[in-house]
Structure 1
């Protein structure tokens, strides 16, 4: 669906304006579609991102600073995100044995199992997108977005 039809706006002040509106609309659409998957598990996309980052640090733990460096959504409150994941027993926090001012974060077996459960619906979501654009178009779009950010 064209952005003009999606938001019922027939004209834009420029193609740059149209692009910005389309990016925001599409970003929100992606978030909303993923939320349908995460909501069943009382998660936000940021929780999913944090869990995947922590899983990527296996076999060792990871420090919150290292998580923050690679988060997709850097605006989120990482402490609150980790608090919720810890409360749900998906991650655990321990003081770093070599530096007592540093916290080590590890994923639990329950957290790994949840990521395994989420794997299929997330892959199905990706397959839906693959029906709309080709591999070359996806690569081109990614390159354009990199260029946009400078």
Structure 2
């Protein structure tokens, strides 16, 4: 019997995470911190910790710890929202932008090695398939349970 797909996905995730830890560790960044920096950098509007915690399925307290750590490293900053004084908006600092750029170059090299046996079209199909699977999981999670009698 061939290995279950979910086993292969988990094995791949484990290998990718281990490599990310090693590569990003050289820049004193964890994979979670890298993903959050990327998301903040890609987002044109400033985000709050609450928005980030919902996006990454983390408790607000856990996200606050990650953001505080990145703030201590001078990679993120929090500014009061001019329209809602109780909301702190999160943005990359100049140093955060520099570190993110360096880490992205390192991740590009890793990703190329990871996918080197796939042709361009296969990479495109692979990314599309991952997107469809994630979309399906999101839709499944949004469905309300059906009432039973």
Name the TM tier (shorter chain): 0.7 to 0.9
Equivalent of residue 52 in structure 1, options 29, 35, 38 = 38
**CA–CA separation in structure 2 for the residues paired with 1:61 and 1:148:** 28
2:107 equivalent to 1:89: no
**Alignment TM-score, normalising by the size of structure 2:** 0.76
Which runs of 5 or more structure 2 residues have no equivalent in the other structure? 137-149
Partner residue, 1:65: 50
Q: CA separation of 1:146/1:120 partners in 2, compared to 1, >3 Å: closer, same or farther?
A: closer
**CA–CA separation in structure 1 for the residues paired with 2:124 and 2:101:** 27
**CA–CA separation in structure 2 for the residues paired with 1:122 and 1:79:** 25
**Alignment TM-score, normalising by the size of structure 1:** 0.75
Give the aligned CA root-mean-square deviation in angstroms.
2.2
Partner residue, 2:12: 26
Q: Post-superposition, which runs of at least 4 consecutive aligned residues in structure 1 deviate over 4 A?
A: 146-149
**CA–CA separation in structure 2 for the residues paired with 1:144 and 1:119:** 23
Equivalent of residue 142 in structure 1, options 102, 121, 127 = 127
- Post-superposition offset of 1:48: 0.7
